[in-house]
Structure 1
Amino acid sequence: MTIHRIVVVDDHPVVLLGVRQLIDAESDMTVIGEAQDAASGIRMVGELQPDAVVLDLRLGDNASPDVCREMTTTAPRTRILLHTAYEQVEPLRACLRSGAAGVVFKDESLLVTALRTVLAGEEYVDPRALDQSRDPIGVPDSDELVERLTPREYDVLCGFAVGKSTREVANSLNLTENTVRSYTKSLLTKLGANSRLQALAIAKRLRLLP
């Protein structure tokens, strides 16, 4: 069994402890390093080359997009998962543009799911980040739907909206993963999106999702 190696970067010791305990409780994940500031985190990720890093959105005076960019440069195969208690959209957008693979809010319910998704090479956005009370992440100025989604494309979109991975969507719909990837590609084109994160946000704004 592959053991995924995780680094956690957060300036709150209590959060570090909680995240470590949550991850180490999983049989296929282990925390191999912790850091409480951006410089130490960047250095540790570069040295250890972990499979993923759980990164606090706010680390003192450091700009999170810059931290993401430096980690991506020093460890291009490491997947960055933003871990935040804040709902400001622009910093999240900037981090996603700078190489982060996903975002999850700070509670225990979705962290492991989010980690598994980004470790599988996919993007993850906490479903709560798509709430209509917030400005959706990554939505372009245009809200035009290029072409109506087919029922299967909509099923795939709904699966992603509740945080399912490609494999989980495939299993739930009795499809192959390659078929789900094909539907994903077509729904991205129809929504005018460049990523799954952006597609979910556009769909939310267009009221295609509840």
Structure 2
Amino acid sequence: MLIADDQELVRAGFSMIIDSRDDLEVVGEAGDGVQAVALAGQLHPDVILMDVRMPRMDGIEAARQLAATGHPARIIMLTTFDLDEPVFAALRAGASGFLLKDTRPDDLAAAIRVVAAGEALLAPTVTRRLLDRFAPELPGGSPPPSLEPLSTREIEVLKLVARALSNDEIAERLTLSRATVKTHLSAILFKLGLRDRVQAAVLAYETGLVRPGTAPPGG
């Protein structure tokens, strides 16, 4: 773990929580985005806890730079306010999700494990509110990647991922095994060149496959 936050007390608190778990370890701390990018290259952390607002370089730009260089670390953005506006930009910059700074210690540790394993970080209710709030405001630009490589079943899975359903919920909805859902999700990520299901959800909104406020298929 690498912790990036401009407040020393915050870093110390997170470090104490993380190091108290036998399976988690803090390998470094950064006080701003510039240090975070540099230390990530030196220490090769699996997961980075990154504050959104930091001096010299904020967490969003740091996440963008790390993603651009192909750094494999999963990035969890830290924010003080629920649905803070920069959060969506952070997800588009390559972050795997976000947590509020007042997250309970056990939830923080669980979130780190989930992200390190490549699974979804955002709780379904938070994901849905985040995407519904910001998807209409996505800026224009070059056309998004085509969804044509996906099969009909993969499109169905992607729609449910975008509606923030878990793998178990998708399996129940589509009458599939959980393993089959994971296989479809892996294929979606591979075909579209995406890092994780959060980016898949964002892309589903960007392409218009799912629109804010619509009910999940079959619901």
In 2, Cα distance between the equivalents of 1:29 and 1:169? 30
Give the RMSD, CA atoms, in angstroms.
4.1
Cα 1:167–1:30 shift into 2, 3 Å: farther
- Tell whether 2:124 aligns with 1:116: no
Q: TM-score, normalised by structure 2?
A: 0.64
Q: 1:106 to 1:168 in 2, by over 3 A?
A: farther
1:10 to partner: Cα distance: 0.7
For residue 214 of structure 2, what is the aligned residue in structure 1? 206
| Cα shift readout 1:5-44 (whole Å, capped 9, x = no counterpart) | x100011122111211221122211000011111111111
Residue in structure 2 matched with residue 144 of structure 1 by the alignment:
none
Distance 1:7 1:129, change over 3 A: same
Matched residue type, 2:200: S
Partner of 2:97: 102
Residue 56 of structure 1 contacts residue 83 of structure 1 at CA under 8 Å; is this kept in 2?
Answer: yes
> Does the residue aligned with 1:83 lie in a helix, a strand or coil?
strand
Using structure 1 for the length normalisation, give the TM-score.
Answer: 0.66
Structure 1 residue 139 corresponds to structure 2 residue 135: yes
| Greater strand share, structure number | 1
Structure 1 counterpart of 2:82, from 87, 108, 118: 87
How far apart, in 1, do the equivalents of 2:37 and 2:7 lie? 17
Would you say the 8 A contact 2:49–2:75 is kept in 1? yes
CA contact (8 A) 2:114 2:120 kept: yes
Deviation at 1:75, TM superposition (A): 5.6
How many residues align? The count is: 185
Deviation at 1:174, TM superposition (A): 9.5
How far apart are the structure 2 equivalents of 1:44 and 1:180?
Answer: 33
Aligned residue in 2 for 1:3: none
Check if 1:43 corresponds to 2:14.
Answer: no
| Residue 182 in structure 1 maps to residue 177 in structure 2 | no
Tell me the residue number matched to 2:144.
none
Contact 1:54 / 1:80 at 8 angstroms: preserved in 2?
Answer: yes
Q: Could you tell me which residue of structure 1 aligns to residue 149 of structure 2? A: none
Partner-residue secondary structure (3-state), 1:205: coil
Aligned counterparts of 2:12 and 2:185: Cα–Cα separation in 1:
40
Q: Among the aligned pairs, what percent are the same residue?
A: 25
Partner Cα distance (1:178, 1:84) in 2: 34
Q: Deviations over 1:151-185 (max 9, x none)?
A: x97xx76x955xx6x58987xx9934233443798
- Cα distance in structure 2, aligned partners of 1:169 and 1:131: 15
Unaligned stretches of 5+ residues in structure 2: 138-152, 189-197
Given that 1:46 and 1:74 are in contact with CA atoms closer than 8 Å, whether structure 2 keeps it comes out as: no
Q: Bigger shift: 89-98 or 119-128?
A: 119-128
Distance of 1:175 and 1:136 partners within structure 2: 28
- 1:108-154 deviations in Å (ceiling 9; x for gaps): 3332222122211234224563475x67365357xxxxxxx9xx97x
Alpha-carbon separation, structure 2, partners of 1:175 and 1:182 = 11
Match of 2:6 in 1: 11
Contact 1:92–1:137, Cα closer than 8 Å, also in 2:
no
